[in-house]
Amino acid sequence: MRNLPTLRQLRFLVAVVERRHFSAAAGDCLVSQSTLSAAIQELEDLLGVRLLERSKRKVIPTAIGLALAERAKNLLRGAEELVEAAEAARDPLSGALQLGVIPTIGPFLAPRIMPILREKFPELKIFLREEQSAPLLARLKSGQIDAAIFALPYPCDEMETAEFASDRFHVVCPPGHRLAGLAKVPPQEMAGEDLLLLEDGHCLREHALAACALEGARRNAGFRGTSLHTLVQMAANGLGVTLVPEMALASGILRGLDLASIPLAEEASARKIALVWRPSSGRKVLFRQLAGVLKADFAAAAA
């Protein structure tokens, strides 16, 4: 009978190919560098091909190494889904759940929902991973996480989604600003403002521009912050105005700052918050129940 690679060896190969660094890959896999290196060498001996070009400073995958790493991802994903299916058959509402969340949602949503989810799903152990949308979606596709909380619109058509909240944008500015006295801010009023936005890579940047119909006016976005907390601090120092989702305001992001918040006039000026998962996942029952619990909580809070 032919000897086959182990899932452990394949996981190590994928980690090295993705990180291009043995030490970093070993850290991701929670093993020593020598353990990882030995497993890769065993895999090369087993397959009879060289998978990696090694030097003291870097690791370069060979052509066959790249091709096999891509196939290994599919095998690992299939193994994860096999375990998920077994867990779902035993008890779909128990076990570990790797849940991703983007940085413009995580700090504001997690303190609110985690106690609720612990109460509703006492046998479920939820582990949160915070990351920007693109790498988070990549982790979801590869099976490294089970589900993720995204702000929509975002291009994740291959995934199944369940929206559970609408997060309206508010204009945040100093109390003496011309917009501060308005009950609601018409989006067209934002065109002439120095609009403070997050740096590229944050989907909230695109959502904020779309909310104000400013897709073609990015020259106004002269400042770029790394977080919403940075943006409100910049606004408090008179560097411009910014757009903050209602979720962040409700969590007290403006506490201690001399700033006003005014909702945008357009009701449609909101991002949608959704739970997203792979169509092939064996835990769909759990995900739909999670989304339902979250939707009910947000509906009750808005009532």
DSSP letter string, 62-100:
-HHHHHHHHHHHHHHHHHHHHHHHHHHHH-TT-EEEEEE
221: pLDDT confidence band, cut at 50, 70 and 90?
A: very low
| Share above pLDDT 70 across residues of the chain, in percent, rounded to a whole number | 94
Q: Does the structure show a pLDDT above 60 at 281?
A: yes
Q: Does domain 92-165+271-302 have CATH number 3.40.190.10?
A: yes
| Average pLDDT of the chain to the nearest whole number | 88
Answer with the residue of higher pLDDT: 250 or 189: 250
Q: Does the structure show a pLDDT above 90 at 34?
A: yes
Mean pLDDT of 63-85: 88
Output the CA–CA distances (angstroms, integers) from residue 42 to 2, 36, 37, 45, in the order listed: 15, 10, 9, 5
Q: Does domain 7-86 have CATH number 3.40.50.261?
A: no
Q: What is the CATH number of domain 166-270?
A: 3.40.190.10
Domain ranges of the chain: 7-86, 92-165+271-302, 166-270
Triad 98, 167, 262: Cα angle to 5°:
145
Instruction: Let me know if the fold of 7-86 is the same as that of 92-165+271-302.
Output: no
Nearest in space to 188 (alpha carbons), one of 211, 161, 156: 211
Lowest mean pLDDT, pick from 144-158, 238-252, 258-272: 258-272
Write down the pTM of the prediction: 0.72
Triad 289, 269, 236: Cα angle to 5°:
105
Q: Does the structure show a pLDDT above 90 at 17?
A: yes
The pLDDT assigned to 88 comes to 67
Output the CA–CA distances (angstroms, integers) from residue 208 to 68, 170, 203, 244, in the order listed: 41, 10, 9, 8
3-state secondary structure of 15: helix
Question: Position 148: which residue type?
Answer: A
Q: How many helices (H) and strands (E) does the chain have?
A: 10, 11
220: pLDDT confidence band, cut at 50, 70 and 90?
A: very low
Answer with the residue of higher pLDDT: 55 or 287: 287
Nearest in space to 167 (alpha carbons), one of 153, 187, 181: 153
